[in-house]
Amino acid sequence: MALREYLASMDSQDPNRALELMEPDLRFLIALPGREVAGESKEDFAAYISGRNAVARVHEVLRCCADGDTEMVYGVVTESGAVVGAFHSAAVVSPRGLIARYQSFFSTSFALIDRQAEVHP
């Protein structure tokens, strides 16, 4: 799943690895509390990555699904082990397996799924 690989790259020591998973003409929207970041190229996304603050951030996926060329994930973001918010992201994946369109919504005030209620076998 391209989105899981993307999130793992964003959480790694080298988040620029995520760019390898994107089409050159990537279009994206990232809705953060109080602001939106949007772009129309892999270069625009590289600028977004370079502007992120460096913290011990992890995207913990609680749900995921795929339907045809569309993937969706829902989860929480932790920083230094503490939950700081929840995200819902979707991507359209190209025939080459790269992310062509990406949309993500992040909230610090609402969680669709209670992380503590998750049961993992």
Q: Are strands 70-79 and 82-93 parallel, antiparallel or unpaired?
A: antiparallel
CATH of the domain at 61: 3.10.450.50
Q: Is residue 56 part of a domain?
A: yes
Work out the average pLDDT over 80-104. 96
Q: Whose structure tokens read 């977004």?
A: 48
Q: Is residue 86 part of a domain?
A: yes
Q: Is residue 97 part of a domain?
A: yes
Domain count, the chain: 1
Q: How far apart are CA 101 and CA 69, in angstroms?
A: 11
Q: Is residue 21 part of a domain?
A: yes
State the chain's mean pLDDT as an integer. Answer: 92
Q: Is residue 18 part of a domain?
A: yes
Q: Is residue 79 part of a domain?
A: yes
Listed range (5-9, 31-35, 54-58) with the worst mean pLDDT: 54-58
How high is the pLDDT of residue 120? 45
How high is the pLDDT of residue 118? 53
Give the residue from 85, 93, 83 showing the smallest Cα distance to 110.
85
Q: Is residue 118 part of a domain?
A: no
Listed range (57-61, 73-77, 117-121) with the worst mean pLDDT: 117-121
Between residues 92 and 120, the one the model is more confident about:
92
Q: Which residues form the domain of 34? A: 2-113
